[in-house]
Amino acid sequence: MPVYNKLVRDLIPQVIESTGKEFRTRILDEEEYKKELIIKLKEESEEYFAAESSKESLEELADMLEVIWALAVVHGATWEELEAMREKKAEARGGFQERVYLIDVDDQDP
């Protein structure tokens, strides 16, 4: 019997059950949940970097967003609050659409 010991999406137990296989799960406490979400975000980002097509990349980005939404809640924010923070930063510092690549900065005082 393979051992996974990892956070999975909420409907995975039903998917496994529909195959007739037996399995065990448990509900994580808050600290375990936060830790496992961080591990899951790293896992999903590694899968993004390993993706070989735009479709795969987008699927991994969607998975990362799902984990980010859950992490926002763990940190006491709603998705809307997180999005508002993102918008505020974009207004103050811009986004990444213009593809600006900083080469260097002369740190000598003028």
Residue 110 above 80 pLDDT?
Answer: no
- In the predicted model, what is the mean pLDDT of residues 36-64? 98
- Quote the CA–CA distance of 94 and 74 in Å, as a whole number: 27
pLDDT in tens, 7-35: 999 999 999 999 999 999 999 999 999 99
The secondary element (H helix, E strand) that includes residue 69 is helix 54-74
- 30-42 tens-digit pLDDT: 999 999 999 999 9
* Main-chain phi, psi angles of 6, to 5 degrees: -150, 155
d(CA 35, CA 71): 10
Mean pLDDT, residues 96-100: 95
**Separation of alpha carbons 53 and 29, rounded Å:** 36
Going by pLDDT thresholds of 50, 70 and 90, the confidence category of residue 57 is very high
The single-letter DSSP state of residue 10 is T
